[in-house]
Amino acid sequence: MARNISTVDLFCGAGGLTHGFEQAGLPVKAGYDIDPACQFPYEHNNQAKFVLQDVENLRGFDLGEHFYNSRIKVLAGCAPCQPFSSYSRRYKDQHSKWKLLQDFARIVEECQPDIISMENVLQLKHYSIFKEFIAQLQKLNYSFEYYEVNCLDYGIPQSRKRLVLLASKFGSINLIPRTHCPELYKTVRQTIKHLEPISAGQASKRDWLHRCSKLSELNLRRIRASQPGGTWRDWPKELIAECHLKKSGKTYPGVYGRMEWDKPSPTITTQCFGFGNGRFGHPEQDRAISLREAALLQSFPPEYKFVDPNKPVAIHIVGRLIGNAVPVKLGEVIAQSILNHIEQFS
């Protein structure tokens, strides 16, 4: 069946969705992204071709070479979610990025794929642009469903909720049932406990990606005063940042925190390598989580490579690639749902 399917991944990033598709047996021909840092991890770890191109300038006709001679065309896309996030909604200038979802809808109309997958933040469903996207699918005679997905329900070891939409020209299409109940949710301990200890600012000699950011003397004192699951409110007053002492700062307890061994991690973001950027402190070592630990919590396999060994890459760049990625296991879930659907209607 897979020989008759071709998939294109728009906004492909470092290849989280594509890798999940390939792991599930759904072939991907190409991934498109505007970030050149994505090319090495995307092509090194996947069978698909990376195309450095802005989706805004892409036309449906351009995808013809990837869909040529394929009976079933699948188009997947995860338009950058920053414009719809809780943080970015405060800034009106972010709204110009909403056009990326409009471009995705335009490409759908131009190339008429048989099956569509779209993944984004939950907040998207509250915006008129999402309703316009749905109306476009209806106009083009797609059957569709969208879901509020708790990644924990599918074996991903982080508290991450996403909007997943599936659409098809063949008929009703559904996401597979959850694979994990709360008693079996994956934890931080199960995911990263086996990695060798490292100190702040250090890296493993065996794995370049198992490295973490340096900490200032003040932040070292802060993390030493932090307990797993606690907040900066537990610190001695002299360690608390002045902005948090203000009335407006008391609503941000989710920064400068440690993860807990026997619970899932918080949502992995592009700033996950920084202790002060969220609850990204290691449960027991006095440091933020490493890039490898972040990748494992995003369900990337341990051998996934993000960096060309011949080219130095800054921690913040790799952190961005990991934080922006669709978790690999979520990609597997979406792909299995598509394969089940194709089998039903083929």
* Rounded distance between C-alpha atoms, residue 26 and residue 44, angstroms: 18
Distances (CA, A) of 179 to 35, 182, 184: 33, 10, 9
pLDDT confidence tier of residue 88, bands split at 50, 70 and 90: very low
pLDDT confidence tier of residue 78, bands split at 50, 70 and 90: confident
* Rounded distance between C-alpha atoms, residue 158 and residue 263, angstroms: 9
Average pLDDT on 114-125 reads 95
Entry pTM: 0.93
pLDDT at position 87 over 70: no
pLDDT at position 333 over 80: yes
Element (H, E) at 117: strand 115-121
Element (H, E) at 51: strand 49-52
End-to-end Cα spacing for the chain: 9
Element (H, E) at 198: none
Average pLDDT on 25-54 reads 97
Distances (CA, A) of 26 to 82, 87, 220, 236, 285: 28, 34, 46, 53, 39
Topology, domain 2-180+327-345: Rossmann fold (3.40.50)
Give me the percent of the chain exceeding a pLDDT of 90: 80
Domain spans of the chain?
2-180+327-345, 188-324
pLDDT at position 82 over 60: no
Q: What is the pLDDT of residues 130-139, one digit of tens each?
A: 999 999 999 9
Superfamily of domain 188-324: DNA Methylase, subunit A, domain 2 (3.90.120.10)
Which active-site residues does the annotation give?
81
pLDDT at position 85 over 90: no
Whether the CB-CB separation of 207 and 198 falls below 8 Å is answered with no
pLDDT at position 2 over 70: no
Six-digit token pair at 241? 């940042």
Average pLDDT on 10-25 reads 97
Average pLDDT on 330-337 reads 98
Predicted local confidence at residue 241, as pLDDT: 82
Q: What is the pLDDT of residues 150-205, one digit of tens each?
A: 999 999 999 999 999 999 999 999 999 999 999 999 999 999 999 999 999 999 99
Q: What is the mean pLDDT of the chain?
A: 91
Burial letters 3-15, b for 16+ CB under 10 A, else e? eebbbbbbbbbbb
Average pLDDT on 60-78 reads 93
Listed in sequence order, the residues at least 6 apart from 96 whose beta carbon sits closer than 8 Å to its beta carbon are none
pLDDT confidence tier of residue 244, bands split at 50, 70 and 90: confident
Predicted local confidence at residue 237, as pLDDT: 87
Give the CA dihedral 306, 312, 317, 322, nearest 10 degrees. Answer: 20
pLDDT at position 89 over 50: no
Average pLDDT on 80-104 reads 61
Q: DSSP for 154-190, please give it.
A: GT-SB--EEEEEEEESSS---PPPPS--GGG---HHH
φ, ψ of residue 38 in degrees (nearest 5):
-80, -20
Predicted local confidence at residue 84, as pLDDT: 45
φ, ψ of residue 5 in degrees (nearest 5):
-115, 135
Average pLDDT on 254-261 reads 89
φ, ψ of residue 143 in degrees (nearest 5):
-85, 140
